[in-house]
Structure 1
Amino acid sequence: MTLDAGALLLQTVPFARTLGVTFDHTEDGRAVCRLADRADLHNHVAGPHAGALFTLAESASGAAMLSALGDQLARAVPLTTGATVQYHKLAKGDVVAEGRLLASREDVLAELDAGKRPEFDVAVEIRNAEDVPVCSFTFTWTLRPNRT
């Protein structure tokens, strides 16, 4: 599969483009993206707003999912069904998110092939410029089969 998952995500999620999310790497159920430090994205304590961090993490999550399952878009729509977040430290400076699919492609496709609506998780960690974790997320995704 030769899908550029980062480019696809930025094409289909305009808000990620608006914030300036960029992708370093997407393949095999993993994605790395970043958000530059910008004053217009800061909160009241001069770090990236939680909404900006969430969007960065969701972008990494979506691209990780697409890098493994993007070839299934003709038969199913990917949707997030939930998310959890833990904030560990105030983020300062540029931040980098790494997303990792926690299910195997084979297991997800087996459920889809069986006519089920698979659910699976993608873990995301965001690190600051010093490579220190500042927050972590788990996104739950589903593939909703297209109606024929």
Structure 2
Amino acid sequence: MSTPLLSLYRRITRWPAGHWLFSRAICFKAPYFATIAPRFVALAPGRCEVRIHDRRRVHNHIGTVHAIALCNLAELAAGVMTDASLPASMRWIPKGMTVEYLKKAKGTLHGVATPDRALVESDTGYDLPVTVVVTDAGGDAVFRASIAMWVSPRK
């Protein structure tokens, strides 16, 4: 199975600077995510990996990556993973998010989004929980989110 988004990712990332270009294309479609300057690292059905660098523009008052920047990273990774994994007859929208701040977020951060259950075709809508874990360069989890996606048939 390959969605239009997943096909685009596979095609573009074969080019030099393809991951950068794909990341820019996503931020063009959803401009608010450009505030964290994400870089997509991997995308496959059921998995999306996104990296952000520790830059002053994502800092809070104590010099670590701001909580909302982490939330943006989580929502971006979860949304792109969901879009790249759903059957063509289905659509999605985030419905809610629960987050845990596990330790100070510093350095390059790596977010991985995975669904908590299979994405399936359905005649009715359903809740799809997606887990996003963000780790630092040392591999320690600094943030975890559970994002409730509402998945429903396209009308």
* TM-score of the superposed pair, with normalisation by structure 1: 0.84
- Partner in structure 1 of residue 139 of structure 2: 131
Pair 1:103-2:108 in alignment: no
**Secondary structure of 1:59's aligned partner:** helix
1:77 aligns to 2:94 (yes or no): no
**Structure 2: gaps spanning 5 or more residues:** 11-18
Mapping for residues 105-124 of structure 1, pairs under 5 Å: 105=119, 108-109=120-121, 112=122, 115-124=123-132
What secondary structure does 2:57 align onto?
helix
Partners of 1:3 and 1:118 in 2: how far apart?
27
> Post-superposition shift, 1:145?
2.9
Which has the bigger relative contact order, CA under 8 A and spacing at least 6? 1
Q: Aligned AA for 2:142?
A: V
Distance 1:81 1:4, change over 3 A: same
1:47-84 CA distance string (max 9 Å, x none): 11111110001111112212211x52xx4431011111
Amino acid corresponding to residue 100 of structure 1 in structure 2: T
Match of 2:9 in 1: 4
Give structure 1 stretches of 5+ with no counterpart. Answer: none
Identity %: 26
Question: What residue identity is the alignment partner of 1:142?
Answer: W
State whether residues 64 and 122 of structure 1, in contact with CA within 8 Å, keep that contact through their aligned partners in structure 2. no
Look up the equivalent residue of 2:93 and give its one-letter code. L
Residues in 2 aligned to 1:133 and 1:146: alpha-carbon distance in whole angstroms: 36
Aligned to 1:42: 59
User: Paired residue for 1:32?
Assistant: 49
User: What is the aligned-residue RMSD (CA, Å)?
Assistant: 2.0
Shift of 1:26: 0.5
| Aligned counterparts of 2:151 and 2:52: Cα–Cα separation in 1 | 27
Query: Which structure 1 residue ranges, 4+ long, deviate > 4 Å from structure 2?
Result: none
The Cα shift of 1:93 comes to: 1.1
- SS for the counterpart of 1:57 is helix
Query: What is the one-letter code of the residue matched to 1:79?
Result: I
